[in-house]
Structure 1
Amino acid sequence: MTSSRTTVAIFALAAASALPAFGGTLTIESWRTDDKALWDEVLLPAFTKAHPSITVKFAPTAPPEYNSVLSARLAAGSAGDLVTCRPFDVSLDLFKKGRLDKLDGEPGLANFPDSAKVAWQTDDGKNTYCMPMASVIHGFFYNKKVFSQLGLQPPATEAEFFAVLDKIKAAGKVAPLALGTADQWEANQIVFTGIGPNYWKGEEGRRGLIEGKKKFTDPEFVDAWATMARWAPYLPKGYQAQTYGDSQNLFASGRAAIVPTGSWDIAFYRKEPSLEFAAFPPPVRKAGDGCYLSDHTDIGMGINSASKNKADAKVFLDWLASKEFADLFTNKATGFFSLSKHAVDVKDPVARQMMGWRAQCKSTIRLNAQILSRGEPSMENELWTVNSQVLNGKLTPKEAAQRIQTGFAKWYAPAR
């Protein structure tokens, strides 16, 4: 049996944890545990240098637990002053519950294009509740030594892409593509939503699905699946059992020539000193076509509505919108790109390549990130399954399109 003294201690601890944050020190809630050293050693010292009267503490929670832990802390009144925001529905739900302040009118928002703000706005675009911070960009990395040995150039069109894969396969030394389907998510979040925008014309196709003007059974979506289906002969032996980590190791060790990936993996591959790699964007369908880029809004920051130090919190958010932060974050969190309009001198050569694609291509976001995954069956889960099965040869492109469209129409009236 618990002693009365222990019981008192437990209640005291619980009460203390439920106390709201008070002015004097700002605390940042985040899921980016890997970034703690970056915040503690680079970003926060830079902010403190400009604002010595404001103390800021970065207190991250492990990514898988972040949503639930943050929600509990906000409900209990014990959350930090600043909340790192995941894009779209998770943060929108917090705003609807009154957990995040409206930021409309904050001067820092003027430093971001409208496309950067949509991930942290209400569906009608009238309220913004998180300051945009960074995005990730989808594309392909290639082994420069392999390409040099085989006399290959980075492909610009779909035909050139498959011609390159054919030459790598014929040489028989390395796998053409480092990709597996065991984990499923990359078949959707890297491949389908990476190459797909060149088929459905980025925002035109994405907005068309939301507005009910387009269906997944339309040719531009079926064609994206058809191209994916053509990848199977170029994947490693036993790719159906290959995980994302396996794919990373395959490319890092020089046993695969190309890996479809995202900018977040630049830092991972930089750990392998013998690997010389560069990047190319998703190939366009044919020469002369406009290109579209999955430049996915990844991270923002808002103010806890229960914070007792909102004045300082707004100062911090304004700094997040500054050129100083854009430069620091883009160059220190390699592969995460500032969403601001500020010109950034990107130091890492591959990151510089990828950020440069923004000037060549029209940006869009992952196809189902906004609105489309709110019902049942979950489109996110369905796309994981469908895209991996297309790569596995278990579903035809038309079957994949019909399954996604049928599930979508079950709960989304404009899709009927």
Structure 2
Amino acid sequence: MKTSHRIMGAALAVLATAALTSCGSGSEPAADGSATLTFLIDNSQGTTATAKALTDAFMQANPKIKIETETRPGGSEGDNIVKTRLSTGDMTDVFWYNSGSLLQAINPAQTMVDLTGDPVLQNVQKDYLPVVSQGGKVYGVPAGTLTGGGILYNRKVYDKLGLKVPATWAEFMANNDKIKAAGITAVISTFKDTWTSQLFVLGDYYNVQAAVPNFAQEYTAGKAKFATTPAALAGFEHLAEVFTKKYMNDGYGSATNDQGVKMLAEGKGAHYAMLSGALPPVIETLPQAGTDVGFFGIPGTDATKHGATVWEPSGIYIAKTSEKLDAAKKFLAFVASPAAADAINKAVPPTGPYRITGAKLPDNAIQAAKDLQTYVDEGRTAPALEFVSPVKGPSLEQITVAVGSGLTPPAEGGAQYDKDVEKQAKQLGLDGW
């Protein structure tokens, strides 16, 4: 899911960074090893809290290196700021940015330091490396944790009604029937925040990959289409079926993501197709969201192949223009260490497992993160399509709102998205389009 789910904030706050007269040029350290690094992050609550935990812990362990943090807006405005600063040579020493398809669009080979084979990566899990790579070269380390994209569910509602976590779509719909009969909203929908309508499609990619293992490659090459690939079209069909069977909450068209999470945590709704990252920000006001809400992957057609789609962590990268390479690499090596995970755990409830060898979820991790850890441990995950293909059409959330509201048939929605994707693929200059 692009960056539309991130909190949009105020204008970019730029902190002036004074050059230290003791610092040398290039990658040469100062005589006493001191340095000041600048670090650009987005201004969402989760990112700022995580970045503060990382920088505070690093500076405590490395008192000669100071890190000054700048913030930028999220969403497309923030994307443009990152692109502009990289293209003009005005980027901070290190910066936090998306992994996956959005990384491909900022030309890392020309703008970032190549970390391929560097000791900085020694603790980074190999499964993560492809989403911060281009042309076989690695450019970043994971910032934070995996996020699951699937179904958040109220465990107390399940216990009350004697339900089991479904392994197939048919079992999921049978659970919805029982929940609806009990007078509880079966599937929460929050279409005022249009990005939330995409999860039944984007979160279904594990099942697409299981059915069509080469879908990402064929899709990127302009050969595979949503409208003509039954496994890919299924996400649109799921949206339509949930609407047709009247499982959704009243006022779903004007409901917000915050309202949806609250409704789920309070047991007024049983299911919410959502990212596990939606939970930590509300733990302070809705502590039951940490224990009463669990997670399962969107079920497919084969119970023996049930798994979950995951959103990989963003990356932290070193700008090629940085003159403090040694200090920057030392910071990235810390970010990609169990010690960094421990620092994050004390500040921010993790939304899922880390991509760092040796990093563990805390005992008090939210239940949804523990559930996602089980999928990871059992090898039943697949990255969302945007992490294995550079193609992501910008209009998906409008299309899925229309399908999920009964305004557009699912087959037509799939065809509309194929056209939307085609425009973007041509803009990227991809072969086959």
Q: TM-score, normalized by length of structure 2? A: 0.80
After superposing the two structures, state which structure 1 stretch, 27-36 or 194-203, moved more.
194-203
Q: Matched residues in 2 for 1:408 and 1:81: separation?
A: 34
Q: Secondary structure at the match of 2:394?
A: helix
Counterpart of 2:378, as a letter, is: Q
Output the amino acid matched with 1:389: A
Q: Given residue 395 of structure 1, which amino acid in structure 2 is its aligned partner?
A: T
Aligned to 1:229: 240
The higher radius of gyration belongs to: 1
* 1:182 alignment counterpart: 192
CA distance in 2, matches of 1:31, 1:17: 17
- Would the alpha carbon gap of residues 219 and 94 (structure 1) be closer, same or farther in structure 2, given more than 3 Å must change? closer
Deviations along 1:316-335, one digit per CA (max 9) or x if unpaired, are 11112212223433564321
Does 1:31 pair with 2:49? no
**Cα distance in 2, alignment partners of residues 407 and 302 from structure 1:** 30
Q: Give the drift of 1:344.
A: 1.4
Q: CA deviation at 1:277?
A: 1.5
CA distance in 2, matches of 1:206, 1:198: 12
Look up the match of 2:374. 356
Stretch of structure 1 that moved more, 228-237 or 95-104: 95-104
2:332 to 317, 325, 345: 317
| Greater Cα offset, 178-187 or 285-294 | 285-294
Residue in structure 1 matching 2:418, options 405, 408, 414:
405
Give the Å deviation of 1:266.
2.3
Q: Deviations over 1:279-328 (max 9, x none)?
A: 23224334543134222123111112222211111111111221222343
Residue 286 and residue 212 in structure 1: after superposition, are their counterparts in 2 closer, same or farther (change >3 A)? Answer: same
Distance 1:165 1:288, change over 3 A: closer
Range moving further from structure 2, 214-223 or 362-371:
362-371
Contact 1:329 1:338 in 2 (8 A): no
Unaligned runs of 5+ in 1: 1-15, 374-378
1:12 aligned residue: none
Which region of structure 1 is more displaced relative to structure 2, 97-106 or 257-266?
97-106
Q: How does 1:10-409 map to 2 (within 5 A)?
A: 23=23, 24-34=35-45, 35-40=47-52, 42-64=53-75, 65-74=77-86, 77-96=89-108, 98-122=110-134, 124=135, 126-133=136-143, 134-172=145-183, 174-188=184-198, 190-201=199-210, 204-212=214-222, 214-216=224-226, 217-232=228-243, 233-271=246-284, 272-274=286-288, 276-329=291-344, 332-333=347-348, 334-335=350-351, 337-347=353-363, 348-350=365-367, 351-369=369-387, 371-373=389-391, 379-409=392-422
Q: 1:100 deviation in Å?
A: 1.8
The letter of the residue matching 2:287 is P
Q: Judge conservation of contact 1:368–1:380 (CA < 8 Å) in 2.
A: no
| Partner SS for 2:294 | strand
* Alpha-carbon separation, structure 2, partners of 1:158 and 1:330: 34
> What amino acid does structure 1 have at the position aligned with 2:292?
F
| CA-CA distance at 1:212 after TM superposition | 4.6
Q: 1:97 to 1:109 in 2, by over 3 A?
A: closer
Preserved contact between residue 203 and residue 364 of structure 1 (Cα < 8 Å): no
- The whole-number CA distance in structure 2 between the counterparts of 1:409 and 1:61 is 30
Question: 3-state SS of the aligned residue for 1:26?
Answer: strand
Q: Is the 8 A contact 2:54 2:343 kept in 1?
A: yes
Q: 1:144 to 1:112 in 2, by over 3 A?
A: same
Cα RMSD for the two superposed structures: 3.0
Amino acid across the alignment from 1:198: N
Give the Cα–Cα distance (whole angstroms) in 2 for the partners of residues 337 and 203 of structure 1: 24
Q: Report percent identity of matched pairs.
A: 22
**Distance in 2, Cα, partners of 1:319 & 1:100:** 18
CA distance in 1, matches of 2:387, 2:50: 28
The answer to whether the 8 Å contact 2:216/2:389 transfers is no
- Determine helix, strand or coil for the equivalent of 2:322: coil
Q: Given that residues 101 and 386 in structure 2 are in contact (C-alpha distance below 8 angstroms), is that contact kept between their aligned partners in structure 1?
A: no
SS in 1 for 2:315: strand
SS in 2 for 1:132: strand
- CA shift, 1:204, in A, is 3.7
CA distance in 2, matches of 1:356, 1:245: 27
Conservation of the 8 A alpha-carbon contact between 1:228 and 1:390: yes
2:67 partner letter:
V
- Please, what TM-score do these two structures have when normalized by structure 1? 0.83
3-state SS in 2 of match to 1:138: strand
What is the distance in 1 between the residues matched to 2:248 and 2:175?
14
Q: For the residues of structure 2 that align with 1:37 and 1:197, how far apart are their CA atoms?
A: 30
Cα offset, 1:96, TM superposition = 4.8
